[in-house]
Amino acid sequence: MKVILASRNPDKLREMQSVLAFPGIEFLPVRALPGVPEVVEDGDTLEANAVKKARITAQITGSWALADDSGLEVYALNMKPGVHSARFAGKHGDYAANNRKLLELLRNVADRRARFRCVIALSSPAGRCRTVEGICAGCIADAPRGPHGFGYDPVFIPEGHLKTFAEMTPAEKNRLSHRFRAARAARRAWHSLLSGPNLPDWPD
């Protein structure tokens, strides 16, 4: 069975493919399919963006499609940047600029609690869609640390740890990450996907 991964971000794709592996399902990046337009992420919530990407991709390709949207939510910033995480500093995907803006806003702020949240949406070709989410709590470091990862990984320290995500190996990060936790919830339903065309009942 083929499931289209409706993301064009190579960093996200690499993580998703590593945590979603499941016997009997082949995950195919959407960019491998010619003629599939890029979906504009203009929703007000992570859920809205994930559902939109999954549903449109599934309907265009005629295949099941899976999409995610993730965001960093900082308590002292009223849970921002949230849905705007990728373009927090203005330009989409400028990781260094996003981190600089975040650290500047948190300068001299004692409350550095934050969480990463990932919403995964799965859509049938008919457009029926369900979502699950994963959360990783933590805090924001005083300065970027570590050579690995992407996005806000250099400034995010997961709860119960001293290293940022960027100081961890990919395997270490995957065991803790919001994306892994969302994928783990999604994987509980894979066996139902293989048994017929109907969308399975996803766990709450």
Residues serving a catalytic function are 69
Q: Which residue has the tokens 């940047």?
A: 81
Q: Is 8 helix (H, G, I), strand (E, B) or coil?
A: coil
Phi, psi of 134 (to 5 degrees): -135, 140
d(CA 48, CA 18): 24
Q: End-to-end CA distance of the chain: give it in Å, rounded.
A: 24
Cβ–Cβ < 8 Å for 74, 140: yes
Phi, psi of 28 (to 5 degrees): -120, 120
Half-sphere exposure for 43 (CA within 13 Å, toward CB):
18
Cβ–Cβ < 8 Å for 123, 54: yes
